[in-house]
Amino acid sequence: MNAIITATELASELTGDNPPVVLDVRWQLSVAKAAGEPPFDGRAAYASGHVPGAVYVDLDRELAGAPGARGRHPLPDLAVFAAAMRRAGVSAARPVVVYDGGQGWAAARAWWLLRWTGHPNVRVLDGGLPSWRGDLSVDEPVPSEGDFDPAPAVGGLLDADGAAALARSGVLFDARAGERYRGEVEPIDPVGGHIPGAVSAPTTENVGPDGRFLPAEELADRFKALGASDGTEVGVYCGSGVSGAHEVLALAVAGIPAALYVGSWSEWSSDPARPVATGPDPQ
């Protein structure tokens, strides 16, 4: 099953016999802003216009736990996540489509969580809301309660030790910008650099100027050139497990399974005992 869906395909499926549940997960990374500038409000963006029938999901409150020792966006409490999905109408028997404002990171986080917890049919709208050509709605639907019961998979998830080991035994991709990987800048976390052995693979290079994913063949060639050859175990991390989910999604489009280190650099760098590498060399 394809991990992404076009706006044209979504419009068609919404008029079909088993239309997908549509989730709006608009979100932006909160970084220090100029004095007086309000933070991004995903719910307000949703209220101003969304795909008809879409239900808003809050990434910080429903797709992640509270920030702390496990990182800025650790795994959510499963009961909280399950309640949010059922409130949105998510059931195992209905497909799910997730979108955000176009960057794709937040939608990918929802996609990864749903897939990791056992939903059989979830896709991301390629290009996000900007790709949608239909009318927008300001009506907030109240869907029938869903029956989704999250059941986390045995694999697909890395902790700090697992990420460190995979950087030696397989390939661990760092999805952040290259300058953060090299430790030249670090706008959020206490230490700059990367997990020793990790390979720089910015997720921004998986999409074109329109925010849509590159063709599957191009993505496969890119990841193979970076070390994801056949039979190699692959993992991904980023700053806090959001853009890394987007890289896992890109890998899925390329036909390459990958695990996600959800704690990512925000968890790794919070422990001064963990080693840090800097510069362009993985080691």
- Burial classification of residue 58, based on how many CB atoms lie within 10 Å of its CB (0-12 exposed, 13-18 middle, 19 or more buried): middle
Distance of CA 145 to the CA centre of its chain: 25
Measured CA to CA in angstroms, residue 148 lies from 28, 91, 121 at distances of 27, 4, 12
Closest CA to 226 of 160, 163, 277, 175: 175
Specify whether the backbone of 160 is left (phi greater than 0), alpha (psi in -120 to 50) or beta: alpha
Cα diameter, the chain: 55
Q: Which of 207, 215, 257 is nearest to 234 (CA)?
A: 257
Q: Is there a contact between 242 and 222 (Cβ–Cβ < 8 Å)?
A: no
238 given a catalytic annotation = yes
Q: How many CB atoms lie within 10 A of CB 74?
A: 20
Residue carrying the six token digits 């950087």? 167
Question: Which residue of the set 238, 242, 250, 258 is catalytic?
Answer: 238
The residue whose two tokens read 């997720």 is 203
DSSP 130: G
Q: Is 200 helix (H, G, I), strand (E, B) or coil?
A: strand
Residue in this structure with the two tokens 């990841």, named with its chain if needed:
223
Collect all residues with Cβ–Cβ distance below 8 Å to 227 and sequence separation of at least 6.
171, 199
The CA angle 20-257-197, to the nearest 5 degrees, is: 135
List, by residue number, the catalytic residues. Answer: 238
